[in-house]
Copies of this chain bind each other. A is one copy, B any other.
Amino acid sequence: MKKSSEANKRIEEVGKRILNDIRSGRFPELRLPDRSVNNIIYSPELKQYVLGERSIARSARNINQIRAFTQLVWLGYFAKQLLNEGKTSTLRDVYYSAQAFNIDFKDQPESDEIITELESLLNMPREDFNIYPEERSAIFGDLEVRYNVKGYEGRTLNLTSHPDGVMIGPALTTADFVRTSADKLIVVEKGALFTRFIEERVHERFKAVLISTTGQAPRSTRYLIRRLNRELGLPVYIFTDADPWGMHIAMVIISGSANAAHIRELTTPDAIWAGVWATDIKRYRLPSDPLDEVDIKRLHELKDDPRYTESLWKVEIDEFLRRKRKSEQEAFAKYGLTYIVEKYLPEKLREVG
């Protein structure tokens, strides 16, 4: 509940500032970090995009800003309601909910933008004020959690209880970590590999908590990965397909996205992309497919991306561009279904660990 009471406090502070302005006969005004492209800077120390020093004003005095000002104030009110009632919501819910209050958003992108403004005003991710993504990843492993959501306060669960894995939603994201025997977190891109790892008891043999992102990791999954890394000290190893999209799934977990430059709580800078690398395709003689044109275009974009300057990434991008081949995680099944667990995984963990 720590997070939600902190969010509550910050929303109240904003409210009090506005109220003070009004009581003092001033037009209320809020200052927000400027999120325009010119103010987004890559920080090599933090390994993520951050915002520069510039800020912008949202004032009730300015006729051009009063609409966005009102929307922002309403959203603060709505988020506070969510927190007080222990309810969660999504970007889309917020868009429709506004209509109940005669708050006018012309479309969902407009309400999404205001949610991002509230994040940057409060300096916390929207999950902290109970607005969650629609997508869900899954988790499995010897980790006992204690829930904080309404109706489950104090109840615990060991995350090996369900051998298909459990969903990462609001309840897990806000749960306390009670106990684990794991000494690492392994994140995989594909649900099929997640199931294989559970069947082959990777959680026991490698003392690992397992997460399946199912493609690009949703924000609340990145948030949970960061918590597992920070609070339990678990090193994080990410396994994706060997293609530019898999690489970038790993990178976004490590360094976040430029869209989230205004918050720092969705990255895990120590996480390691452990494979499947471009160089693994040759090394393990994996079945592979030719890169498509979009793959090659994407690789050239990544080459210019400041997040991709470390040597691991450069080497692998160059290897992709040289051989023009990609492989999937499932390609290891060429050597039998268990090869990836018996051979590849221990070799890789030794190599990067």
Contact = CB atoms under 8 A, between A and B. Distances in A.
A342 interface: no
A190 interface: yes
A164 interface: yes
A191 B136 contact: yes
A173 to B, nearest CB: 8
Contact of A87 (B87, B169, B337): B337
A164 B162 contact: no
Nearest to A136: B191
* Residue with the highest number of chain B CB atoms closer than 10 Å, among A92, A97, A164, A337: A164
Interface in A126-140: 132, 134-136, 138
Interface stretch (A150-158, A180-188, A253-261): A150-158
A335 B196 CA distance: 44
A270 to B, nearest CB: 26
A334 B96 CA distance: 5
A273 interface: no
Given A134-B191, A195-B88, A337-B87, A330 B162 contact: no
Residue among A135, A138, A169 having the largest count of chain B Cβ atoms under 10 Å: A169
A205 to B, nearest CB: 12
Interface of A: 86-90, 92-93, 95-97, 99-100, 132, 134-136, 138, 147, 149-152, 157, 161-172, 190-192, 195-196, 199, 201, 214, 287, 328, 330-337
